[in-house]
A and B are shown apart, each in its own frame.
Chain A
Amino acid sequence: MMFHTTNAVLGLAGGALIGVAAALYLATHGRIAGISGIVSGVLERAADWRPRLAFIVGLAATGALLALAAPTLFERPTSSLPIVAGAGLLVGFGTRLSNGCTSGHGVCGTSRLSLRSIAATLTFIATGAITVAVTHRVGGAQ
């Protein structure tokens, strides 16, 4: 196990910010701050696609600014590009279908004590762990 107190403190602080951001979105727009749900709402031109798009732009633009200020926070994926493309396809397909990802189910749903979200979260952590274990054995995705 790799445990650093700094990582744990930064993790808690980052998580707290995510919680505040999700609560702000709920207070202003009345919706769950699930990134996959926000994106599919933009793609499907939901009635509130404008604030959804603004959220996504805020997410991407802030990422770009932070990467300039602290480049080490944004490491490149270790997997090869075709693997990353395949990963993206599966993430898009799976989240669109199960109506949620790490933020929607993992953070918002779990906080609301939704059994559906807790089940989804445990499932994607389990299959994610199996995938990492398999790719480490095969070594192909390294």
Chain B
Amino acid sequence: MKRKRSIGLAFAAGALFATGLAVGGMTNPSKVRSFLDFAGVWDPTLLFVMGGAVTVYFTLHRFVLKRGAPLFDTRFHLPTRRDIDARLIADAAIFGVGWGLGGYCPGPGIASSMTGAVGPVVFVVAMIVGMWIQRRIEFSVAHSAGEASANQVVIECARRPS
């Protein structure tokens, strides 16, 4: 019963999210690209979408966090990192280029993927491939760099009396 409610409410959150995106004009790629077109005929609509979303989420999330724990989990899982590193900026930059090229970010791409148009389907499939490629690279880098640290773990474990 609890699992059903958990699935149902996650579905409802996704449904509300899609409605917000569509009403706000985010599922219209040329509108999104017009927002990014500061040098051309700039369309500020997306600024209102972000403003509305940030205002509401800023207010609501404070009340939600006061509850101590979410409905279907024992605790909140919130990002704790606060440092700004080169990797974050480089990767956000890569995302921005893709966003500007297609006019889609992940949410609107997925929300448009079952509307019968080919473009968003191509976008979502390519996005998943992109995530997969990134994971492969990260894995191989971690693997080759990991040899040394793995040895270190063994040493650490050997040192520590259990």
Contacts and interface: CB of A to CB of B under 8 A. Distances in A.
Interface string A84-125: 111111111111111111110111111110111001110111
Contacts of A62: 14-15, 18-19, 111
B79 A14 contact: no
Nearest to A67: B115
Contacts of B33: 78, 132
Contacts of A91: 95, 98-99, 102, 104-106, 109, 123, 126-127, 130
B52 A15 contact: yes
B146 interface: no
A60 B101 CA distance: 22
Given A98-B91, A116-B83, A128 B54 contact: no
Contacts of B111: 59-60, 62-63
* SS class, residues of chain B in contact with chain A: helix
Interface residues on B, range: 35 or more
Contact of B99 (A73, A76, A87): A87
B129 A89 contact: yes
Given A24-B16, A74-B117, A135-B100, A43 B131 contact: yes
Given A14-B22, A74-B22, A87 B134 contact: no
Most A Cβ at <10 Å: residue of B17, B20, B115: B17
A75 to B, nearest CB: 4
Nearest to B30: A78
A94 B88 CA distance: 9
A92 B25 contact: no
Contacts of A75: 27-31
Contact of B10 (A52, A76, A109, A130): A52
A93 to B, nearest CB: 4
Given A51-B10, A54-B10, 11 more contacts: A16-B20, A18-B24, A20-B20, A26-B76, A40-B131, A55-B11, A94-B130, A119-B89, A120-B88, A127-B95, A128-B100
